[in-house]
Amino acid sequence: MAPRLQLEKAAWRWAETVRPEEVSQEHIETAYRIWLEPCIRGVCRRNCKGNPNCLVGIGEHIWLGEIDENSFHNIDDPNCERRKKNSFVGLTNLGATCYVNTFLQVWFLNLELRQALYLCPSTCSDYMLGDGIQEEKDYEPQTICEHLQYLFALLQNSNRRYIDPSGFVKALGLDTGQQQDAQEFSKLFMSLLEDTLSKQKNPDVRNIVQQQFCGEYAYVTVCNQCGRESKLLSKFYELELNIQGHKQLTDCISEFLKEEKLEGDNRYFCENCQSKQNATRKIRLLSLPCTLNLQLMRFVFDRQTGHKKKLNTYIGFSEILDMEPYVEHKGGSYVYELSAVLIHRGVSAYSGHYIAHVKDPQSGEWYKFNDEDIEKMEGKKLQLGIEEDLAEPSKSQTRKPKCGKGTHCSRNAYMLVYRLQTQEKPNTTVQVPAFLQELVDRDNSKFEEWCIEMAEMRKQSVDKGKAKHEEVKELYQRLPAGAEPYEFVSLEWLQKWLDESTPTKPIDNHACLCSHDKLHPDKISIMKRISEYAADIFYSRYGGGPRLTVKALCKECVVERCRILRLKNQLNEDYKTVNNLLKAAVKGNDGFWVGKSSLRSWRQLALEQLDEQDGDAEQSNGKMNGSTLNKDESKEERKEEEELNFNEDILCPHGELCISENERRLVSKEAWSKLQQYFPKAPEFPSYKECCSQCKILEREGEENEALHKMIANEQKTSLPNLFQDKNRPCLSNWPEDTDVLYIVSQFFVEEWRKFVRKPTRCSPVSSVGNSALLCPHGGLMFTFASMTKEDSKLIALLWPSEWQMIQKLFVVDHVIKITRIEVGDVNPSETQYISEPKLCPECREGLLCQQQRDLREYTQATIYVHKVVDNKKVMKDSAPELNVSSSETEEDKEEAKPDGEKDPDFNQIMHAFSVAPFDQNLSIDGKILSDDCATLGTLGVIPESVILLKADEPIADYAAMDDVMQVCMPEEGFKGTGLLGH
């Protein structure tokens, strides 16, 4: 038995021997003292639930130990947000903008680009007032150049550990919650920046992008027949290198420049020869920029899935790269040194995280830029391009190849930045313009003010916590009541008083009151008994109430509880007595009828009644404690569902004794007397009580009706045997020779009649033939002879003339519908005509066909077949793919928007069934091309059970070439609508 249950029984044990009217104040206090025994004995090491005298483990340990100032506040040290000495400033990740942050750091550490941007004129002069900045107005950059200026100035001289680039991101119109292709962002932004700076007068500013990042190469094609050479010059800002199948960066560069043969169908039209000739084509590097960006094509297009994927292969690269072997004009300075490695962590092309390893051009030291966090890379940490993958299965990890000194290898690097090696030392004096420095100084002042404010708040929290510590430490010693006068206070309030994270509110003891506005005995478990001295201090400082002294204990509720306990004990005895009485046979007419279900559950019903009476005592001025209310509500709901009171299970619908003796049992007078003590309002039926007379009449009538229905069903089944079994039925498509007239009834009538004939006791007889459903409002027939032989044949049933005569005798017929066959011709009949009565209504027939077509095009689930066409022949796999697709919206679905990205029809299913990517699919139905992916199947004329023809385009053999085309011709979908494409 649980300890709490033992205490409860001990606390109320005297109630078994004391009558309710004899309960005294001494009895009440005795019950409460028993609850306190474990703590009085000193065996409590944690809070005793339900013991009002236990004051251990309610949150006091925080205040009674050694003082820890950090526990008095939740404010971090503002100095943690301060930039460390000789370190760089980070950038806040706004959700999924890590790819932007990496490029900003790389561009910031390009000193020439930074210096040129500082020289760019700014509209900040409108923001200046005299020799200073308008204090009451925040600076808002107006152009992309101004945003970059301000960001670079903050990155250079801010006191903060990291800054917020949201202004720059917002100016570009980027979605902060969507991960984008970093390589595409780099290309588009460089193009935008070059276009913006091209309008500047200063050549150092106007040409900085081309000077730093722009090189030139030529597509050279040589005719094998005449040797004529044609060139197509092109500028580049980065070289896109295929890494598939390669292990070293130099191999990737060699493949980029390799010679390609143009033969067969791919021959080159030579203007000199004026015909197609075999030729060779290659790329020649004509000039290289100061900053050489090498894009490693890790993100490639997978034709099988129709999506991008990431190549997680290792690529080796050296810190020194000699490009002289690859350029056309020798003799120049083409030695580059590694300055940055941009990294994508993760195995998917659509998720992951971007970081950058960048070399400080002034100190030559390497740093890892990971959004807000900047880490110096030295010693064992200096492993360029090495970052752990995110959520990568261990089985897919390949072994890292060995790298010599000055070389590195990475499976996550997607861009390498090399700087032209020069003898000159880098310019270390990139000065922030005065107006930008003023803006930075103002931001630094705000930061310092914030640090002072946070430090003051920390100090106030610490001072307040120390004062609370002294208060609790002093007052907790005086909390135990002992033998002195005491009061009850809510345990929940005491815990909140001891919780330093929540402000202390006034004391509220209302939840512990009974209906008599006194302390309910069952609420002692959520109260604590404290000294009157401590209570006086609490109420004077925090207020609230009502105050609950020893006189607040409710005698009336204790008396009621005593009565309920005695009744429950008595119930156990009576249960045994009733069981023994039920074993004895009932003599004469002294017995009473009791429902068998009631007899099985009478003890439970009696207990529920006592619990309800006990629960009523917990009400407080019409209000009830939350847990008790839910308990009572569940009981009421259960009662309503069962709708069962004692002995009501043998009541008939008329309130009398039911006629079924299987549901009731005869019990003795003594047993009924015991049961009646608990259920005085239960319906009483002595053994001589007659059953309900109305139920007897209805029972007899029901038996007579069943017999009548069986007779009618047997007669109709005998009269229409062919109609019942569907044998020897006439057919319009194969008109029988022995008759010229057939009659029509609706198939619905036939089905309802068959149901009755099969189960006449469960169904009502069919009394009429409702042929009006087959006619239009004008009384004309809705079906043609041809349609009744095909699609409408399921709606009608054909009858022989003899059957129709029997139908007219057995049923009331509202409309007669018949089909007559007439032979047309003089000597040799050459044509047969069929005439219906009533005649066809053409207008209503047309309306019916239109409605049927609309219904066919409005469906939510249907089977659509797809046949693949190869060499103009239909080919279907062994298991024909069936597409359970959703087409036109129903009226209920039209208001609900489809989830983002969902298109109808979903031809990705075709891709998985036939391994044909969506862009290679040519779909048609009945000669009509299906090209609108946003249209519904219904609007395209695709109805259930339709067959769509699929003809697949031949895939491009050279996947690598195709990927290059995709990268050049198809910019990322995610940048549409942003400022990157606005130019």
How far apart, in whole angstroms, are the C-alpha atoms of residue 20 and residue 566?
Answer: 9
Phi, psi of 376 (to 5 degrees): -75, 135
Annotation marks residue 403 as catalytic: no
Going by the DSSP 8-state scheme, the letter that residue 116 receives in this structure is H
Sequence letter at residue 855: D
**By the 8 A CB rule, do 14 and 569 touch?**
no
Of the candidates 147, 246, 344, 353, the residue annotated as catalytic is 353
For residue 519, give every residue at least 6 positions away whose Cβ sits within 8 Å of its Cβ, in sequence order, or none: 488, 512, 513, 527, 548, 552, 553, 554
Annotation marks residue 353 as catalytic: yes
Place of tokens 């007559």: 820
Q: Tell whether the torsion through CA atoms of 484, 489, 491 and 493 is positive or negative.
A: negative
Q: State CA 452 to chain mean position distance.
A: 43
The β-bridge relationship of strands 320-322 and 239-241 is unpaired
HEC secondary structure over 431-485: CCCHHHHHHHHHHHHHHHHHHHHHHHHHHHHHHHHHHHHHHHHHHHHCCECCCCC
Residue 124, number of CB atoms within 10 A of its CB: 19
Place of tokens 């299906």: 930
**By the 8 A CB rule, do 498 and 55 touch?**
no
Q: Minimal CA–CA distance to 260: which of 869, 961, 932?
A: 961
**By the 8 A CB rule, do 237 and 252 touch?**
no
- Cα distances from 277 to residues 258, 261, 270, in angstroms, run 20, 11, 6
How far apart, in whole angstroms, are the C-alpha atoms of residue 603 and residue 611?
Answer: 12
- Torsion-angle region of residue 927: left (phi > 0), alpha (psi -120 to 50) or beta? left
Q: Is the peptide bond before 141 cis (omega within 30 degrees of 0)?
A: no
For residue 646, give every residue at least 6 positions away whose Cβ sits within 8 Å of its Cβ, in sequence order, or none: 598, 602, 605, 675, 678, 679, 682
How far apart, in whole angstroms, are the C-alpha atoms of residue 768 and residue 776?
Answer: 19
Of the candidates 98, 252, 514, 557, the residue annotated as catalytic is 98
Catalytically active residues are 98, 353
